Amino acid sequence: MSSAEIGVFGGSGFYSFLDDVTEHPVETPYGSPSAPVHVGTLDDRRVAFLPRHGVDHEFPPHRINYRANLWAMRELGVSRLLAPCASGSLKPEIAPGDFVVCDQLIDRTSGREHTFFDGPEAYHIAFADPYCPELRAVAIDAGRAEDITTHDGGTVVVVEGPRFSTRAESHWYREQGWEVINMTQHPEAVLARELGICYGTIALVTDYDVGVDDDDTVAAVTQEEVFAFFQANVGKVRNLLFRAVAAVPTERACGCRGDSPLALD
C-alpha cells in the first residue's frame, strides 16, 4: 500500500489535476471509511485525500464513520492532517468568504463514536489544545499569502446536525463568545489526537447561521446556500491547502504525537 505523509479531508476537487494520483481502498478495524483514499504527490510531499462525507456527499455529519476515516489515514502513515470544513459565522465581523483557523472547539454532539479507547484498558488523552500549533501557523500564513481574510484563532462549536440551529441556540452560542459553528470537527479532532496525528482545520465561512441580529436583510442559512457557496470557493480552499502543504515542517516539534499507545513511530 502506498504511504503518505500528509492527509487532507477533501474530495476530487482538491486532487483531480495532479498527475500521479492512485486510489487505495482501505479497510479498518472500524469498517470502511467514507470513500477510497487517493494518494498523490504535491511539491514532493505524498498527500492522501479522503472526502469525509463520501464521494457523493452521501454521509450526513452524524453518520460519518469518523473512526474508520482517521484509522485509514493512520494506515497510510499520515502524521499531519489538514481538515477544511464549511462553517457558519456567529459574529458579524466574520463574513462569508472569510477563513477561520480555529484554536479551540466546544462539543455539543451526542451519540457519536468518539474514541478508540473503549477498553479493557483506559487511556485518557490530553486535549487542552485541540489543534496543532504548527499546522495553524502554516494555514494562517497560506491564507494571507493567498490574499484571503484569515482569522487567527477562534472557537468552533460543533453541533450534532443534520439540522441547523434554532435562533435561541445560535443566540446562546454567540453570547458565549464563540466564533463559528460546524457539524464535523468533533470527533475528528480528538480521534486524530488519540492517534498522535497533528490536526488543523481551515473553516470556510459560508453563511451567518440564523442571520445577523440587527440586520433583517440577512436570512437564516439553508443547505442550498452552504453547498453552493462551498463549491464556488473550493478553488480558494484548494490553493490555500496546497500552499500550506508545501510549508508543513518535515519534522514535528509540536507535541501532538504525545504518548498515545496508538501513535505511529
Q: What is the mean pLDDT of the chain?
A: 94
pLDDT over threshold 90, residue 15: no
CATH number where 178 lies: 3.40.50.1580
Asked if the structure places residue 124 within a domain, the reply is yes
Asked if the structure places residue 217 within a domain, the reply is yes
Percent over 90 (pLDDT), the chain = 85
Asked if the structure places residue 265 within a domain, the reply is no
Domain coverage including residue 172: 6-247
pLDDT in tens, 144-178: 999 999 999 999 999 999 999 999 999 999 999 99
Per the structure, how many domains does the chain have? Answer: 1
Answer with the residue of higher pLDDT: 212 or 164.
164
Residue 11 to residues 92, 115, 145: CA-CA distances in angstroms? 30, 25, 23
86: cell is 464549511
pLDDT for position 111: 93
Record the pTM: 0.95
Asked if the structure places residue 260 within a domain, the reply is no
Asked if the structure places residue 261 within a domain, the reply is no
Asked if the structure places residue 253 within a domain, the reply is no
Average pLDDT, stretch 210-236?
A: 84
CA–centroid distance for 77 within its chain: 18
pLDDT over threshold 70, residue 113: yes
Pairing of strands 80-82, 85-89: unpaired
pLDDT over threshold 70, residue 2: no
pLDDT for position 211: 80
Catalytically active residues, by annotation: 207, 209
pLDDT for position 214: 65
